[in-house]
Structure 1
Amino acid sequence: MDDWRTAAPEHLVNPFGTGPEYAPVYGGELLPRTPEEAFTTRRFNKVPVLQGINRDESRAGIYGMEMTKKATTGDPDAHIDEADYGTHLEQTFGADRADAVAARYPVTAYDGSPALALAAALTDAEWARPTVDTGKALSRHVPTYTYEFAEKETPWYADPAYQKPSFPMGAAHTFELPYLFGLDDFEPLTRTQHRLSDRMIDIWTGFAHKGRAPWKPTTPAAPNTQSLASGPNGVRPVDFAENHHYAFWTSLR
């Protein structure tokens, strides 16, 4: 599969598998083709698709980086600083692109937090951009619906061994799970969070039953993404591509 920095949108369906990120499983008689091959050849099971990400996916990875820094330095107050931010941008995007990414995601725009700035850049590059591309590819062949889990206040882990980071986790990777399943791994949902949980479960089960979600489907021209969050205006359409700087990331290919 082509690298996410160089492949054209119509050929890049899912970049996971090009590095240490999560990767699709394939091979053998059941799933013989890569996602890229399946979609470009149209040899896949054509059923409706519900796809999406968490708004702050990469904050989970940055949390791991911060905990590792605390452990290796022996400093319980260690956190991701601007030097870490710059170094990680160069390692991830290359020195020739790091300055452009830093200019698009300045630390000053994220409450002065290098951790939040880095998480936003990684979320948009590694999760949001491929979500738009995947939606474009899928919607040419099957009904496709895109969502974004966007809770700002989410339950923390129930195990006290998990130290909280120096920044809010928000809708980090896996933090939607207690809203969909009865998990003991997280603190209990609040009453407001329970209302969102009920709404999300209705959406998931309704899609499984009817093959559609209660919002406009994704098209090759527009993600038509539904934001899922608590509050009276929490479930609403959002400009996913604009919010996650899709045009910027495609310009770096």
Structure 2
Amino acid sequence: MTMHRVLTILGCALTAVLATAWSAAPPTQPAARPTQAAAPTTVRTHHGLVRGAAHDGYRTFEGIPYAAPPVGRLRWAPPRPAAGWSGVREATRPASACPQPAGEVPGGSTDEDCLHLNVTTPDGARPAHPRPVVVWLHGGGFTTGAGSSYDAHRMATRGGVVVVTVNYRLGALGFLAHTGLPGSGTFGLADQQAALRWVRAEIGAFGGDAHQVTLAGESAGGYSVCAQLASPASAGLFDRAIIESGPCTGRADRPFAPSAVPLSTARATGTDLAAKAGCGSARDVMACLRRAPVTRLLAAQEGDQQPAYATPLLPRDPGAAITSGRFHHVPVLLGSNHDEGNGWAAGIIQAGNPVTPGTWLDVAATFFPSPGEAKAIVREYPVHRTDGGPVFGAVIGDANFACPTARTDHLLSAQVPVWRYEFADEHAPPLTSGTPPFPLGAPHASELPYLFDLGGRPRDLTAAQHRLADTMIDYWTAFARTADPNGPSSPHWSRRTVQSLAPDHIVATGTTRTRHHCGFWNGLTTPDNGSG
């Protein structure tokens, strides 16, 4: 099986895992009927007045620009300051998602004027003390997603925090690298930093505390938090970090979890993209690419994108930076899900790649091609007649998420306070329509409906799952407030163990390394950068 075929399968599998989770309801639909509220819905920022919407217990301000549109000569340029405006800018609907293929965003997007953010704040007059702020970076393989997909009103109202969700440049438009192009491979990360600077400057007007900012994200958003921990340019822009299913020690040779690549690799990918976009032989390649239609660029890019390190914004691979202690020393809450890999395994199987005793070695070799690795995996994870899917899912999850998360925990906790969780609701509401080939348990992204209303609608949760959602929000927001997730009404969370999160069964556990075969994965050859 060729690598192109592998990437195609992964793309189809990821779409199957995530596409319907957010698109089931348009994110422009409000989660609650607007009502009259005492708190003002017009707020003055340094750029001008914005008018948001009042809801039952909270206010939203959507589509606020934090940087200039990256169009024309600003395509593949570091983010520039947003222009001001006169009068009152309506902020009652989200702005366009950044360019991306169809999937999470119905129909995709080709609108490059996308560097906007959304603010959700509890209702009421300006508080006596500013509220903690959570800045959320969406996932999607650095290729898809939008801040407006995450309705944060439950986190804001229950937790008493201000939540900011962010759009940042994606795909080739966010991570192209080319010789002589300043900012190569990191434009999307630079956008995130521009959004954090906006928060430091503006969030006080929305009742937020500019000196109590938690940077949080899931999957590629979680890995973005890792990158910002390692980036010298983000110094002073956030005070705590939450990393969900985006371990900082991800490896580029394992294609499921997000990771970074050397600038030389990113430049080679950029050269390939320029050729596919019809600009490879142009006298001025970048001028040709800046004139190319967005649709052509989207068609030319392959699979998920990866930020580049050995760059001014990201001098070191995040795993290497954390291994050496060269990262911003802030408290961290991080974790992964018990069955991270099951969604990918199900998608790959449904794409026509069965996992049976007879095919297992070939499948393992396709996705873990290092010499001898596939045979070792098959010995460690034998497939019997009927359990091929869950076994494949366990391999993906353990190799790409559970064990790298454990290693990230080990490295970080030597330097900073760390709280680690494992989301383990085996009956988590499905993120996709249709019937999977085997029960998915708690797969990648399944914790998100407990924190957000994805696509503007709540998931159907049992009473016990609602209690778990409340407890998770309590943990997350207590951490944002005090750098400690513990509170008076939640089960105690110790820094020395892993907090297992399941309905009516929130317990500390120390068995995750054994359950996820981490001794096996740590024994395999790993890169010298400390990842793995």
TM-score by length of 2: 0.39
| 1:248 equivalent in structure 2 | 520
Residue 211 of structure 1 pairs with residue 483 of structure 2: yes
- What is the CA-CA distance between 1:134 and the residue it aligns to? 0.8
| 1:154 equivalent in structure 2 | 428
| 1:23 equivalent in structure 2 | 259
**Residue type matched to 2:394 in 1?**
A
Residue 140 of structure 1 pairs with residue 414 of structure 2: yes
Residues 13 and 137 of structure 1 are in contact (CA less than 8 Å); yes or no, is this contact kept in structure 2?
Answer: no
What is the distance in 2 between the residues matched to 1:65 and 1:236? 33
- What is the CA-CA distance between 1:243 and the residue it aligns to? 1.2
The 1:29/1:147 distance shift into structure 2, 3 A limit, reads same
The 1:18/1:225 distance shift into structure 2, 3 A limit, reads same
| 2:282 equivalent in structure 1 | none
Aligned length: 223
Q: Equivalent pairs: percent with the same residue?
A: 35
Greater displacement, 45-54 / 99-108: 99-108
Q: What is the correspondence of 1:53-68 to structure 2 with a 5 Å cutoff?
A: 53-68=336-351
Query: What are the Cα deviations for residues 60-104 of structure 1, in whole angstroms up to 9, with x where unaligned?
Result: 1112212311xxxxxxxx854333432121221546233332232
Match of 2:440 among 148, 166, 169: 169
- What is the CA-CA distance between 1:53 and the residue it aligns to? 0.5
Moved over 6 A (4+): none
The 1:186/1:67 distance shift into structure 2, 3 A limit, reads farther
Q: What is the correspondence of 1:1-253 to structure 2 with a 5 Å cutoff?
A: 14-21=249-256, 22-23=258-259, 25=307, 31-69=314-352, 79-91=354-366, 92-94=368-370, 96-108=372-384, 112-157=386-431, 162-184=433-455, 187-214=459-486, 215-218=493-496, 224-231=497-504, 233-253=505-525
**Residue type matched to 2:501 in 1?**
L
**Residue type matched to 1:87 in 2?**
D
What is the distance in 2 between the residues matched to 1:200 and 1:131? 19
Query: What are the Cα deviations for residues 162-219 of structure 1, in whole angstroms up to 9, with x where unaligned?
Result: 322110111100111101111247741122211111111111111111112342225x
**Residue type matched to 1:247 in 2?**
G
What is the distance in 1 between the residues matched to 2:395 and 2:249? 18
Gap regions ≥5 residues in structure 2:
1-246, 261-306, 487-492, 526-532
- Secondary structure at the counterpart of residue 83 of structure 1: coil
Residues 356 and 383 of structure 2 are in contact (CA less than 8 Å); yes or no, is this contact kept in structure 1?
Answer: no
Q: For the aligned residues, what is the CA RMSD?
A: 2.6
Q: Which has the higher contact order (CA 8 A, sep 6+)?
A: 1
- Secondary structure at the counterpart of residue 335 of structure 2: strand
Query: What are the Cα deviations for residues 104-142 of structure 1, in whole angstroms up to 9, with x where unaligned?
Result: 22234xx93101011112211121121111111101110
What is the distance in 2 between the residues matched to 1:19 and 1:116? 19
**Residue type matched to 1:82 in 2?**
P
Greater displacement, 38-47 / 13-22: 13-22
What is the distance in 1 between the residues matched to 2:441 and 2:355? 17
**Residue type matched to 1:169 in 2?**
L
Going by fraction, where is helix more abundant, 1 or 2? 1
- Secondary structure at the counterpart of residue 82 of structure 1: coil
- What is the CA-CA distance between 1:13 and the residue it aligns to? 5.5
Gap regions ≥5 residues in structure 1:
1-11, 70-77, 219-223
**Residue type matched to 1:117 in 2?**
V
Greater displacement, 141-150 / 39-48: 39-48
- Secondary structure at the counterpart of residue 364 of structure 2: helix
What is the distance in 2 between the residues matched to 1:129 and 1:50? 16
Residues 85 and 115 of structure 1 are in contact (CA less than 8 Å); yes or no, is this contact kept in structure 2?
Answer: no
What is the distance in 2 between the residues matched to 1:56 and 1:180? 18
- Secondary structure at the counterpart of residue 38 of structure 1: helix
- Secondary structure at the counterpart of residue 248 of structure 1: helix
- What is the CA-CA distance between 1:239 and the residue it aligns to? 1.3
- Secondary structure at the counterpart of residue 336 of structure 2: strand
Residues 58 and 123 of structure 1 are in contact (CA less than 8 Å); yes or no, is this contact kept in structure 2?
Answer: yes
The 1:26/1:95 distance shift into structure 2, 3 A limit, reads closer
- Secondary structure at the counterpart of residue 253 of structure 2: coil
TM-score by length of 1: 0.78
The 1:100/1:137 distance shift into structure 2, 3 A limit, reads same
Residues 254 and 400 of structure 2 are in contact (CA less than 8 Å); yes or no, is this contact kept in structure 1?
Answer: no
